[in-house]
């Protein structure tokens, strides 16, 4: 694998691993703050970031050893409204800056495994950003997010809060595979 793609994949793995972790921490905070559906959305999205991190890690299977990894992270353990703003900022950074840059390099270097991992991730992050925005609008009105069913596609990290999809709109996986929160 080309060195720049390998380095970018490690950074993407580091960023996704940190996002997975902070969404679990913010889920627990949302529950404490009285927003159980926002907590469920954070848990589902945490597991979506695990899907992405795992794709990146496996794409790096031949790059063995210890490395310094530079990745972006969002910090703060604050009100659920503020945490949701942090989540939106992190998702939009990935959608607008990080993944487009990594995709451009992987296309130039013809790195197919990396490209496929990045493309699943960037499409899922767009959905995550939308859902966190919806959640923040509710919380800022003092309400919980409206969501009876929250479903995760374990193939690509897509999330549904309506349960209306029969197959994943991003990767075509069947609804039977979806995990419920």
Interface with a second copy (CB under 8 A): 10, 13-14, 16-18, 20-22, 24-25, 50, 53-54, 57-58, 60-61, 63-78, 82, 86, 89-90, 93
Asked if 155 and 171 touch (Cβ cutoff 8 Å), the reply is yes
Residue 2 beta carbon to a second copy: minimum distance, rounded to whole angstroms: 15
d(CA 17, CA 11): 10
User: Closer CB to Fe ion, residue 50 or residue 111?
Assistant: 50
Closest CA to 152 of 141, 160, 162, 142: 160
User: Closer CB to Fe ion, residue 58 or residue 143?
Assistant: 58
d(CA 18, CA 162): 27
Closest CA to 52 of 80, 23, 29, 74: 23
* Binds Fe ion by CB under 5 A, chosen from 27, 44, 127, 168: 168
Q: Taking CB within 5 to 8 Å according to partner kind, which of a second copy, Fe ion, none is near residue 146?
A: none
User: Closer CB to a second copy, residue 93 or residue 175?
Assistant: 93
């Amino acid at each position: 694998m080309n060195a720049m793609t390998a380095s970018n994949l490690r950074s993407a793995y580091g960023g996704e691993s940190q996002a997975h972790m902070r969404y679990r921490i913010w889920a627990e905070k949302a529950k404490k703050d009285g927003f159980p559906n926002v907590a469920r959305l954070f848990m589902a999205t945490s597991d979506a970031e695990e899907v992405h991190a795992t794709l990146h890690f496996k794409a790096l299977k031949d790059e063995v050893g210890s490395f310094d990894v530079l990745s972006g992270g969002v910090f703060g353990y604050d009100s659920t409204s503020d945490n949701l703003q942090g989540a939106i900022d992190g998702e939009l950074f990935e959608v607008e800056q990080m993944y487009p840059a990594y995709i451009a390099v992987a296309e130039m270097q013809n790195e197919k495994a990396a490209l496929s991992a990045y493309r699943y991730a960037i499409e899922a992050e767009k959905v995550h950003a939308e859902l966190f925005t919806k959640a923040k609008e509710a919380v800022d009105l003092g309400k919980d997010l409206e969501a009876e069913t929250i479903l995760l596609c374990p193939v690509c990290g897509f999330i549904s809060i309506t349960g209306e999809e029969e197959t994943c709109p991003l990767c075509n996986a069947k609804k039977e595979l979806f995990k419920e929160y």
